[in-house]
Amino acid sequence: MRYTSSRRRRGKMATDVSVEAYGAYVPRLRVEASEFEEAWGSFDARGVEEKRVPDADEDSVTMAVEAVEDALRRSAYSKGEVGTLVLGTTTPPIEEGEVGAQVAEILGMKTNTEVVVHSGSARAGVRSLVTACRSVETDEDMNASVAVASDCPLGKPDDSIDHAGGAGAVAFVVGEEGDVNVKDTASYTQEFSGTRFRERGEKAVKKYGAKAYERDAYTTVVSGAYEAISPNDTQNAVLAPTAPDADMPYRAGRAVGTDVYETASSMGDTGTASALFGVLEAWRNDEDKVVAVGYGDGASADAVHLVGSLSGDWERKTGMKTVTYTEYLRRRGHVVDEGGDA
């Protein structure tokens, strides 16, 4: 059943809140779309040319750690000065347990660091940024907070979710002084049930395959969140949305009449991290007004309006390795050896 009612919420930042630095982690392994076409006769991830693949020792925790360390290296803060750490992921390595504590422990953060985890929806990446911003806004003693989105979505080998599924992590250091002002936040909710989901105990994400319905849900909710930001503020602001492939984001961009930035075409679907990777891509192209929209199927979205930009290179330049489709199946656990090793 679809409910036609919707909810919008806007929230101006009461104090100056800024993104002061960013960090990213891109896995070294990649697989090209042509490998899937040869194996299946088609590649069902629209617009994706290649994607990143997590290695056997990489998951949402290890990638998050790498991204946060990269962000702190670019910032003026040490690990001990981070008051809040917020993690967004749909692929925690455990179903129940303090996965955020694992990240904080590996990073060597203080035991009194507040740790928050958002999960269960690809919206969680931008939601983590909203939470980090509000922690700085409401706590006058806060030096800095860190939001990190880390993901590696998995589907069944023969479906579009797995064909698109990539991997990566992005972290933002948030404080009161920085080159990127967090000007506004907003949210939008309207129920579109069954578009994409993962049942309890399952590793693979599923969807019903009603493409027109899925596109309507995505476009309606992403554009609704973008438009919930003040129209005066979003003039000339580009869109960096959650990107399940390299086609859907542009549908939302056309709906609101603005340019779109995404990295799904070269990295695949990075889940909670995809909107933040889109922000990095916008900054690399000298955009200084960006609305990041985190979309969660079902459906809800968060929007964050960022004014300003941060320079720097985030793409992995060395150590890259292209894997075959057979290697990809082993890396992602779709094929298991007789001895039980993937």
The answer to which of 69-78, 85-94, 329-338 has the lowest mean pLDDT is 329-338
Burial 142-160 (b: 16+ CB within 10 A, else e): bebbbbbbbbbbbbebebb
Q: What is the pLDDT of residues 182-215, one digit of tens each?
A: 999 999 999 998 888 788 888 877 777 788 999 9
Looking at residue 203, its pLDDT comes to 81
Looking at residue 15, its pLDDT comes to 65
Tokens of 93: 């390595």
Classify residue 231 as exposed, middle or buried by CB count within 10 Å of its CB (0-12, 13-18, 19+).
exposed
Residue 342 has pLDDT above 70, yes or no: no
pLDDT, averaged across the chain: 91
Q: How confident is the model at residue 75 (pLDDT cuts 50, 70, 90)?
A: very high
Looking at residue 230, its pLDDT comes to 79
| Mean pLDDT for the stretch of residues 38-51 | 92
DSSP string, 4-18: ---EEEEEE-SS--E
Helix, strand, coil percent values for the chain (each to nearest 5): 30, 25, 45
* DSSP element (H, E) containing 35: helix 33-40
At position 108, the amino acid (one-letter code) is: G
Q: What is the pLDDT of residues 208-244, one digit of tens each?
A: 778 899 999 999 999 999 999 978 777 889 999 999 9
* DSSP element (H, E) containing 70: helix 60-74
Q: What is the pLDDT of residues 118-164, one digit of tens each?
A: 999 999 999 999 999 999 988 777 789 999 999 999 989 888 899 99
Q: What is the pLDDT of residues 270-291, one digit of tens each?
A: 999 999 999 999 999 999 999 9
Q: How confident is the model at residue 317 (pLDDT cuts 50, 70, 90)?
A: confident
Looking at residue 208, its pLDDT comes to 74
- Residues 139 and 142: their CA atoms lie apart, in Å, by 5
Residue 297 has pLDDT above 90, yes or no: yes
- Eight-class DSSP state of 273: G
Burial 41-70 (b: 16+ CB within 10 A, else e): eebbbbbbebbbbbeeebbbbbbbbbbbbb
Looking at residue 3, its pLDDT comes to 35
